[in-house]
Amino acid sequence: MVKTDKAKDYVNEFIETLKSADLSELNKIIDILEDARRKGKQIFVMGNGGSASIASHFATDLGKGTVKDFNDDNEKRFRIISLADNIPLMTAYSNDLGYEHVFSEQLKNLVQEGDIVIGISSSGKSRNVINAINLAKKMKAKTIGLVGFDGGQLKNMVDFKILVKKNDYGMVEDAHSMIQHLICSILKERIKS
């Protein structure tokens, strides 16, 4: 049985972790995503491990959770894909080229100028995310990062970022999950108003 004190300690640590998040670019990120929806631009999101789960969740919440009227076939919707979801393709690239190319190789088939590429990496050092962001920048896509710890290399590569200043993978992932819910919630309110 979990001691109540341990649970309270975790919750209190999570609250402090959320307070450490630099949300100064949150409104810009929301505006960029909303503009992408209006213009029909594609959004790509990716991450590894827990961040892959967050990427999938982000794609679900943004793609489905923001729909105003499911019966309106003309409603503009978010065009979002999680690059962490096609396991056969990821393993093929990993086997043939190396895991550091699983996201950039997918983007080569899909990304166009003006699209949005979101990299989620607690450490900011995930080589496959960094390679994909490099490609996105070459293709003149807009780049967004959700990072933790000190932000790693990814922090300085992306156009816009949210940095959770905590050196704990679980806490950073919890915060990134909450932040993607926040972004989707605000966008849902804007669209449905």
Q: Residues 180, 54: contact at Cβ < 8 Å?
A: yes
d(CA 84, CA 44): 10
d(CA 45, CA 118): 5
Strands 21-22 and 160-164: antiparallel
d(CA 44, CA 104): 11
* pLDDT per position as a tens digit, 45-103: 999 999 999 999 999 999 999 999 999 999 999 999 999 999 999 999 999 999 999 99
pTM above 0.85, yes or no: yes
Strand order in the sheet with 160-164: 21-22, 160-164, 142-148, 116-121, 42-46, 79-82
What are the chain's domains?
4-65+76-192 (3.40.50.10490)
* pLDDT per position as a tens digit, 112-165: 999 999 999 999 999 999 999 999 999 999 999 999 999 999 999 999 999 999
d(CA 66, CA 190): 9
Q: Residues 173, 54: contact at Cβ < 8 Å?
A: yes
Report which secondary-structure segment, H or E, holds 148. Answer: strand 142-148
